[in-house]
Amino acid sequence: MPPKKSKTTLTSRPFPGDDDTVTLLSGPRNTTTKRIFVAATRQNDGKTTTCLGLYGAMRTRTPQVGFIKPVGQRFVEKDGHKVDEDSVLLDSIFDVQTPIDAMSPVAVDGTFTRRFLDNPDENLGILQDRISRAFDRSSYQKEVCIIEGSGHAGVGAVFDLSNAQVAKLLGAKAIIVAQGGIGRPVDEVAINKALFDKHGVEVIGAILNKVLPDKMDTVRKYAGEGLRRLGVPLLGVLPLAKQLAAPNLSQIVDEIGGRWINGREKAANERILRVVIGAMTAKGVIDYLQPGVLIITPGDRDDIIFAAIASAGISGKKVVSGIVLTRNILPHPKLMEMLAQTQIPCVICSEESYSVASRINSMTVKTQPQDTDKIPIIRNLILDHVDIDAIWNAF
């Protein structure tokens, strides 16, 4: 006879769930689903992008694809639950048809770790049970389930839910995502693989991301050999796609604390590929007036603003993706009237030009649900550059 499941009734729960009775499970009950755990060597290596691409790629093989992010650190409130932003993102794009709380069972807030450490033995059972049950729901009748980690293999170890430990709990095999290069990514994959090995989790391969196009062959050859010597297959090398790292104008407005002057309705999602500080003459700025360019200039540089307005009038279309007016200086009222008649997006903020440019260039740009232009790029990156057959056959 199978062993009986122990039931623990908790009178005061630091991690409240659906009820106060917890049936502790040793792991998820669904044993037929291919479980792909995606980890990364560090933040912003492209883990979420890889998950989005893998999800889309797996759907070309089977419609039965699930998703879960067991432990999330960036969350939003949705339907009364704290749910990870990446779960909301993927669901909004692919309509996973799984309850959102099952796709994001554990959200780590500012006091989470302290609450856990007040009674770690009991709390660990609660959290493992919640993750196992959520996985059962997310993977129900699914042939494949993408499991997104929270960073490198050790993230979450302080509350006994590191990526390696969660992958073990869910019976998953791991893919490690690292930034492109040769020495550093191989070294970092080695460190992460060691922790997965310790917990008995098989690493089926690595994906190197954000590689300069002219370095693709070199990285594939030498990083591939370095990884092979670790026993880790190189599953793919993804070229740097500038559009994925490019913020849209709304994100920039939020970053610099700006306010809209013109064109918000039509240009909020305009993708900014290049930032130019208007420190040159009006004649010099003409060469930069093209889609994808954001001009940053003080509001009293009437010559630069007029050059943009004149070019828009001549061409009859939007010639620049945006203008940021700095130091809270507005142009001459006549110029403001002329600007309002164009399609040029315009924003004003209090900081000076070089500070604004620096803030924009240092932005970390995450894919948002409204970034519909990015999704085909992400899907094609994975389909064109990752060995999906190797991943599929690893199970």
pLDDT tens track for 220-254: 999 999 999 999 999 999 999 888 888 989 999 99
Instruction: Give CATH 3.40.50.300 domain extents, the chain.
Output: 7-244+372-393
| Least trusted range by pLDDT, from 98-102, 159-163, 214-218, 391-395 | 98-102
Q: What is the mean pLDDT of the chain?
A: 87
- Report pLDDT digits (tens) over 4-30: 433 333 334 565 555 444 454 556 665
Give the pLDDT confidence score for residue 269 in this predicted structure.
Answer: 77
In whole angstroms, what is the distance from residue 234 CA to residue 196 CA? 17
**Residues with Cβ within 8 Å of residue 261, at least 6 apart in sequence:** 325, 330, 336, 339, 346, 347, 348
Q: Is the pLDDT of residue 101 over 90?
A: no
In whole angstroms, what is the distance from residue 185 CA to residue 181 CA? 6
AA identity, residue 248: N
Give the pLDDT confidence score for residue 206 in this predicted structure.
Answer: 98
Residue that has been written with the tokens 């954001």 in this structure:
294
- From residue 345, how far is each of 248, 264, 269, 318, 338 by CA, in Å? 12, 6, 11, 9, 13
Q: Is the pLDDT of residue 383 over 50?
A: yes
| Least trusted range by pLDDT, from 105-119, 163-177, 221-235, 359-373 | 359-373
Segment 35-42 mean pLDDT: 95
Q: Is the pLDDT of residue 332 over 50?
A: yes
Classify the C-alpha dihedral 28-31-32-36 as positive or negative: positive
Q: Nearest 5°: phi and psi at 148?
A: -90, 130
Instruction: Give CATH 3.40.1390.20 domain extents, the chain.
Output: 249-361
Homologous superfamily assigned to 249-361: HprK N-terminal domain-like (3.40.1390.20)
In whole angstroms, what is the distance from residue 356 CA to residue 252 CA? 9
- Report pLDDT digits (tens) over 274-331: 999 887 776 667 777 888 899 999 988 888 888 888 887 655 566 788 899 999 999 9
What percent of the chain lies above the pLDDT cut of 90? 57
**Domain 7-244+372-393: CATH architecture, name and number where available:** 3-Layer(aba) Sandwich (3.40)
What percent of the chain lies above the pLDDT cut of 70? 90
In whole angstroms, what is the distance from residue 137 CA to residue 66 CA? 9
Q: Which has the closest alpha carbon to 23: 42, 34, 9?
A: 9
CB atoms within 10 A of CB 12: 7
